Amino acid sequence: MLDWLKDIWDNYGVYIIAVLAAKVLMFGFMMGNAIFSVWLERKVAGRIQDRLGPTRVGGKFGWLQTLADGMKLLVKEDSIPAAADQFLFRVGPYIALIGSFLAFVVLPFGDGVVAREMNIGLFFMLAVMSSEVFGIILIGYGSGSKWSLFGGMREAAQMISYEIPMAMCVLVPVIVSGSMNLGYVAKSQAGIWNWLVFHDPFTFCAFWIYFTCAMASCKRAPFDLAEAESELVAGFHTEYSGFRWLVIFMAEYGSMFAVSGIACLMFLGGWSIGIPWELTQVFETTLGLGPIGFLIGNVINVAVFIAKSWFLVFIMMWVRWTLPRLRIDQVMMMCLKYLIPISCVLMAGVSVWTLFVPYVVQQIIGWVICGVSVAALGYMVFQLVTWASATPGTAMPGMWRTTGLPGYQGAAKQS
């Protein structure tokens, strides 16, 4: 028996490890990320709308509310409309999920912490994430509802259009670094002043254009025209319920983390915390801890990378609950008339900058952009902390005239 198991391991051990890594680690992280993101979005929405959000399930902060909702969806009746195409209706959500899931195959979380390292990892991620649109079309078409079909076609047009400027903007740091290997690009940005977002004005603008296009490609407000409640109720997934509805939103939150991961790797230093040394080398070689040090360094790297990506996901949620929804003609005009030409200018500009601007000038401009950005981020954090700790009347005096009235949740308890 032991010889048979040893023979199986020698011949198929690599494939067994790959399957376990895909199912346990990658898919487990994707599910955990979706659970955390749903909870975070409810809390962010509650804070912005001056309410508490989830509080009842899982203690003070409602940690288990999303898990309870997931359990409810698992046991909820799975109904299929009579007019729906049975096969397309069933398979559509899983095609969308596969497109989001495959992006994690080449997404490096740390130094060598990647399922499959590719020299064209960036191109692979953009390609597989674009395949999510096929699932969206099948969901809308297979539902047998004209409103779902309208939502699917609208979402397909939006996603395909915004992928063009998004891909062009992400090529701007590729021109600077000379590689589409995500791990190589991340390791070349050791030190916060070497982050490509601060390299020059063109990469700085490219980051914001990319992030805007990424929100649109993930169907996030103010670009979520597929879910325009006043027109299409819930858009392409109107007819879905139960587990398949859950799968659709797992794909959405997975794509949000994936595009945020690309932004971190290509613009924000990847897993770098801003110091000019790779932590795995520091712990392994400098401190002489060997393989244990390499592991410790990578644990920190993974934590930093996930924190950065979740911060960008938080920004997406912040924007969603702050800005009003655009009309579909405004969404398409913004992409075709403005973002695509701007992305073309950024690609041409960074090429000219790299070839003709003196290196000393590049360094000075990079330091200036880095300093101004860090100061602006510090001011934003200061405002968040002070507003969160201040009473409503002192933080936003023009909007809180009800402070002190009986029944207002921020008012003092009446005797």
Query: Which DSSP string corresponds to 155-221?
Result: HHHHHHHHHHHHHHHHHHHHHHH----HHHHHHTT-SGGG-GGGS-HHHHHHHHHHHHHHHHHTT-T
pLDDT, residue 176, reads 93
Q: Is residue 10 part of a domain?
A: no
Structural domain for 156, as ranges: 76-384
Kindly state the average pLDDT of the residues 141-165.
Answer: 88
pLDDT at 48: 86
Residue 231 has what pLDDT?
62
Least confident segment among 146-150, 183-187, 258-262:
146-150
User: Binning pLDDT at 50, 70 and 90, where does residue 185 land?
Assistant: very high
Q: Is residue 357 part of a domain?
A: yes
The whole-chain average pLDDT of the chain stands at 85
- Tell me, what's the pLDDT at 215? 92
Q: Is residue 7 part of a domain?
A: no
**Alpha-carbon span 78 to 93, nearest angstrom:** 13
In the chain, the amino acid numbered 358 is: P
DSSP state of 292: H
Among 74-83, 249-258, 395-404, 406-415, the range with the most confident prediction by mean pLDDT is 249-258
Mean local confidence (pLDDT), 130-137: 91
Mean pLDDT for 236-244 is 87
More confident residue, 206 or 12: 206
Q: For residue 48, tell me if it sits in a domain.
A: no
CA distance 128 to 52: 38
pLDDT band at 412 (very low <50, low <70, confident <90, very high): very low
| Helix (H) or strand (E) segment spanning residue 308 | helix 291-320
264 part of a folded domain: yes
Token readout for 229 is 């409640």
pLDDT tier at 242 (50, 70, 90 boundaries)? confident
What percent of the chain stands above pLDDT 70? 86
pLDDT confidence of residue 264: 95
The answer to whether the beta carbons of residues 375 and 381 sit under 8 Å apart is no
- pLDDT at residue 276, as a whole number: 87
C-alpha to C-alpha distance for 395 and 226, rounded to whole angstroms: 36
- Residue 414 predicted with pLDDT over 50: no
Q: Alpha-carbon distance 209 to 258, whole Å?
A: 17
Which DSSP letter does residue 143 get? T
Residue 400 has pLDDT above 60, yes or no: no
Band of residue 108 on the pLDDT scale cut at 50, 70, 90: very high
Radius of gyration of the chain (CA): 23
Residue 381 — pLDDT band, cuts 50, 70, 90? Answer: confident
pLDDT score recorded for residue 1: 62
The pTM score is 0.88
In a domain, 401, yes or no: no
pLDDT on residue 409? 47
What is the pLDDT at residue 57? 86
User: What's the confidence (pLDDT) of residue 286?
Assistant: 84
Q: Is residue 407 part of a domain?
A: no
Residues 270-321: tens digit of each pLDDT: 999 888 888 888 888 888 888 898 899 999 999 999 999 999 999 999 998 8
> Residues 52-81: what's their mean pLDDT?
85
Total domain count for the chain?
Answer: 1
Q: Are 80 and 110 in contact (CB under 8 A)?
A: no
Q: Does the residue 89 lie in any domain?
A: yes
Closest CA to 172 of 348, 367, 339, 312: 348
Two tokens, residue 129: 């994430």
pLDDT, one tens digit per residue, over 310-361 is 999 999 999 988 888 888 888 889 999 999 999 999 999 999 999 999 999 9
Q: pLDDT confidence of 410, banded at 50, 70, 90?
A: very low
